[in-house]
Amino acid sequence: MYEEIIPKIEIGNLLVDFINYLVDNYSWFFDGLSEIIKYVVTLFNDGLLIIPPLVFVAIIALIVWKVVNLKTVPFAIVFLITIISMGLWEISMNTLALIITSTLIALIIGIPLGILKARSKKIELLLNPLLDFMQTLPSLAYLIPAVLFFGTGVAPGVLSTVIFAMPPTIRLTALGIEQVSNQLVEVGESFGATSWQILTKIELPTAMPSILMGINQTILLSFSMVVISGFIGSGGLGDSIISGIQRYSLAPALEAGIAVTFLAVIFDRITRNLVKNG
């Protein structure tokens, strides 16, 4: 009945046609971006695999001791040794390479956007509905435009992770700067500080705990999205989990899930304590 009153709009087909138009006319851009992302992921992956596993464990243990506390060090060592014993070290480093790349891109884009959001009401009005949309969209839905633009593989996995994980960095960077005392800014202005000096010498250092919390949340969201991006063949532990579920080979999938959890817990503890110490 209502179909006669409200005409059906093929929004999905319209969006697919629009994306296909962009891909057909700007394939040089998407191909170039895809190659750059693959290169960066390979660079981090090769760099992580150069480090012998036990040396890597020792480095992480030292970082945990310095940043978190001595009591957490045995847990970090046991977690990493367990990953080695399950035969998942190399694939775990693949996952870390994806997360490092995604997090770096999210921070490079997200922190400047957070600064602009805090300083401009127009940009805030523009970003708020976009961020709300990004944070409420189901995680699997991020994969659809990524596949349409880049096909399957590493590049769409990284870009869907970036979009999924970036909102906390933008929001918490903006929140941190907005909470900087006006008196501090006025003191800087009274000494003739430029806008850049006020940002880098007063606002960003004061907002650092909030920015670090945003980085922590971005890293944790990256861990969850990297697993989901296994659906499109991004590699790493996500592939093992998804393929294990699809083939009903649950033991390898469970082991890969445990490895992701252990890595996420270690990096959460490190970045969370950086917030406390910051």
- Rounded Cα distance between 263 and 86, Å, is 14
Measured in residues, the chain has a length of 278
Amino acid, single-letter form, for residue 147: V
- Rounded Cα distance between 153 and 38, Å, is 9
pLDDT at 90: 93
pLDDT at 58: 96
Listed in sequence order, the DSSP H helices in 51-88 are 53-67, 73-85
| Close Cβ partners of 194 (under 8 Å, ≥ 6 residues apart) | none
pLDDT 10s digit of each residue in the chain, 278 long? 666 777 777 888 888 888 888 888 888 888 899 999 999 999 999 999 999 999 999 999 999 999 988 999 999 999 999 999 999 999 999 999 999 999 999 999 999 999 999 988 899 999 999 888 888 888 788 888 888 888 888 988 899 899 889 999 999 999 999 988 888 888 888 888 888 888 888 888 999 989 999 999 999 999 888 888 888 888 888 888 888 888 888 888 899 999 999 999 999 999 888 776 65
DSSP annotation string for 204-258: HHHHHHHHHHHHHHHHHHHHHHHHHGGGGT--THHHHHHHHHHTT-HHHHHHHHH
3-state secondary structure of 22: helix
* pTM to 2 decimal places: 0.88
pLDDT at 114: 94
- The alpha carbon of residue 123 and the mean position of all alpha carbons in its chain are separated, in whole angstroms, by 22
Looking up tokens 């970003």 gives 127
